[in-house]
Chains A and B, each alone.
Chain A
Amino acid sequence: MPETPTTSLIHARGLTKRFGEFTAVDAIDFDVAKGESFGFLGPNGAGKTSTMRMIGCVSPISDGTLRVLDQDPRVDGPTIRARIGVVPQQDTLDTELTVRENLVLYGRYFGLSRAECARRAEELLDFAQLTERANDEVEPLSGGLKRRLTIARALINEPDLLLLDEPTTGLDPQARHLLWDRLYRLKQRGVTLVLTTHYMDEAEQLCDRLVVMDKARIVAEGSPRQLIDRYSTKEVTELRFPPDVHDSLDGKLDGLADRIEKLADRVLLYADDGEAVAVAAHERGLEPETVLVRRSTLEDVFLRLTGRSLIE
C-alpha cells in the first residue's frame, strides 16, 4: 500500500508504543504543520516522552504509521535526525567541556566543518545569552544556563523541527520565563516547535495548538482558547472552606454554577460570571475562608476531561 505524501512535518495515525505488556502510547493520531508550535499536555506517565522519542527516531514504533519530515523513521532514522533538533528531558551535556566546546562538538556530529561549527556556535551563544560563559566548564552552571545551552546545541544543525521534552521542568520561575522568551523568538522566526509539558501555563504561552494526553491516549485537541471554550466556562470561582465545613458541603452548593468540582482542599465552581457565583454563595449563608474568581485555564480543561489535576 503506497503511503500518501503529506504536507505536515509529522503525521501519525494509530501510533502505538508498547514495552512488553505495557502500552505507553495507545493508537494516537495527530499532525504537525510547518511553522506550527504544537504541544503535548499531560501528567507524568501519559506517554508524552515515548511519543517524542518515536518522533526523534530513537525509539522504534510498535504499531501504526509515523512519518517525520515525510520520511519513515524505521528506515531513514539518521537522515531524519540530521534535520531535527532535540532538547531531551534530562540534560546530556558533556559537563567536563566548556560551553563552546559542547556546541562545536555537537555540530561536528552533523558533519559540519569546524569553521561552520565555530561560526554557528558564536551566533547561538549570543542567542542563548551565553557569550560571557563561552569558555566556562558546563559542570558548575545553573540548571537554567544548562537548559539554554541544550537548546542552543539543538539548533546547531539549523533544524526544520525542534523537539522539546519538558523544557522547563525543574527550573525556577525566572529561568523559565527567560527560556520561554527564547523559544518564543524561535517561533517568531518560523521554527516548528513540538513540546511536551505538564505545565498548563507553558502550554498556553507557547502552543498554537495542543493535544491533551492521558493514560497513553489523546483525549482532546485544539488551540488553548478552543479547548477552554469547549471544555470549560469563561470564569471559575474557587472557594476554600475550613476542613470541617468542606467535608459537610454536600448539596449546599448545588445550582450555583454550570458545574462544580470538589477537590481535596477547595471547591471549583464553573460559570461565565464568577462574581455572581461568589455573591450567590454568600447569600446562601456559606462563609468560605477565601474566594478567588479567575479565568479558566487548561488545568480546568484537564480536570474536566480526566477528573484529575495535571500535577499530582
Chain B
Amino acid sequence: MAGLTRVLEHRAVQYRRTFRSSVFTSFLSPVLFLTAMGIGLGGYVDRSGGAALGGLTYLQFLAPGLLAATVMQSAAFEATFPIIGGLNWQRTFHAMYATPLTPSDIAYGNLAWMAIRMGMIATVFTIVIVAFGAAHSPLVVLGIPVAILTGMAFAGPISAFSATQRNVNRFNVIFRFGIIPLFLFSGTFFPIEQLPSFFQPLAWLSPLWHGVDLTRGLVLGTVGQNPALMVAHVLILILIVAVSSWATARLIERRLVRG
C-alpha cells in the first residue's frame, strides 16, 4: 500500500503541471455537449413526444449516459499513453522498478490514479448536470462512483493491452472500433431498445451499457424499478475491473523483467 501511494504521488506531481487546463476542459466538455445535444437537439426530440424515453425530457435522458460515456473516453486516454510512456518512452516504470517498488505497486498505483482522475471528471460533470437541472434525485451523487466503476472497466482492460504494446499504432484501433462505437451505441444517446433486436443482447457485452443504465437509474431515481438488473450491472463491472487490474499488473511485470 505504501508503494502504491508513492506511485500515486508521482502521478499527482505530473498532473499538477496541467491542472488548470484539465479542470477547465472537464467543465467545458459537459457544458458544450449538454447544450448542443441536450437542449439543442433535445428541443426537437421533446416536441415529437417523449413516450419512448419514459416521460423524460431528452436532456434528462442524455445527461447520465453522457456522464458515463465521458468518463469512459478519458479512461481510454489515461490507460494508453501514460502506460506505454512509462514502459517505452520515458521508461519511468523501469526507474521505479530499480527501487523497492514492485511491478504491482506500479500497476495498481497507476490504476488508482486513473480512478482519481475519473472521480474528478465525474464530479465536475455531475455539478454541470445539476446546474442544467437535469438531475431528478439526490441519488445523483452516486452517479460519481458508478461512473468511476464504469471508467475503470475500460481503464483496466486497456491498460493491460497497453502493457503489451511498444508503439501507439494499435491504439487507433481501440478508439475507432471500440470507444467510438460504444460511445454511440451503448444507450447514451437513445435507448438500446431502438437497436435491431438481434443487436440488443450485444449491449450486455459493453461495459458502457452497464454503466449507462446504472448511472441513469441513479441520476433519475429509477434504480428501484429493477433492482436485480442494477446489482448485475455492478457485479459485472467489478468483475471486469478486478480481472483486468490483475492482468495489468502481471503484464507490466513481464515487460519490466524483460527490460
Contact = CB atoms under 8 A, between A and B. Distances in A.
Interface of A: 49, 53, 56, 58-60, 77-79, 81-82, 86, 88, 90-97, 101, 105-106, 108-111, 153, 157
A96 B17 contact: yes
Nearest to A57: B98
A96 B14 contact: yes
A81 B95 contact: no
A88 B98 contact: yes
B257 A101 contact: no
Given A78-B102, A97-B14, A111 B92 contact: no
A92 B100 contact: no
Contact of B98 (A56, A91, A93, A96): A56
B200 interface: no
Interface in B150-167: none
Contacts of B99: 81-82, 106, 109-110, 157
A109 B100 contact: yes
A59 B259 contact: yes
B90 A92 contact: yes
Contacts of A91: 91
Given A105-B10, A108-B6, A58 B256 contact: yes
A90 to B, nearest CB: 6
A94 B90 contact: yes
Contacts of A56: 98
B117 interface: no
B96 interface: yes
Contact of B95 (A60, A78, A92, A111): A92
17 contacts: A49-B259, A56-B98, A58-B97, A58-B259, A60-B257, A78-B101, A79-B100, A81-B99, A81-B100, A92-B90, A93-B95, A94-B95, A96-B17, A105-B13, A108-B6, A110-B99, A111-B6
Contacts of A49: 259
Contacts of A92: 90-92, 94-95, 98
**Chain B interface mostly helix, strand, loop or mixed?**
helix
B228 interface: no
Given A93-B92, A110-B99, 9 more contacts: A59-B259, A78-B101, A82-B99, A93-B90, A93-B95, A108-B6, A108-B9, A109-B101, A157-B99
Given A96-B17, A105-B10, A78 B100 contact: yes
Nearest to B89: A95
Interface string B85-118: 0000011101111111110000000000000000
Contacts of A153: 95
Q: Looking at chain B, what size class is its interface with the partner chain?
A: 20 to 34
A49 B94 CA distance: 14
B90 to A, nearest CB: 6
Given A86-B98, A96-B17, A110-B100, A105 B9 contact: yes
Interface in B197-250: none
Given A90-B91, A92-B90, A101-B13, A109 B96 contact: yes
A34 B127 CA distance: 61
B2 interface: yes
A177 to B, nearest CB: 26
Contacts of A96: 14, 17, 90
Contacts of B100: 78-79, 81-82, 109-111
Contacts of B13: 97, 101, 105
A97 B10 CA distance: 10
A79 B3 CA distance: 13
Interface string B3-36: 0001001100110010000000000000000000
B257 to A, nearest CB: 6
Nearest to A59: B257
A81 B97 CA distance: 9
A95 B85 CA distance: 11
Contact of A53 (B9, B95, B259): B259
A165 B194 CA distance: 61
A153 B102 CA distance: 18
Contacts of A97: 13-14, 17
A86 B92 CA distance: 13
A68 to B, nearest CB: 13
Contacts of B91: 90-92
Contact of A81 (B2, B98, B259): B98
B259 A111 contact: no
A142 B102 CA distance: 30
Interface centre among B6, B100, B256 (most CB of A within 10 A): B100
Contacts of A109: 6, 10, 96, 99-101
Contacts of B14: 94, 96-97
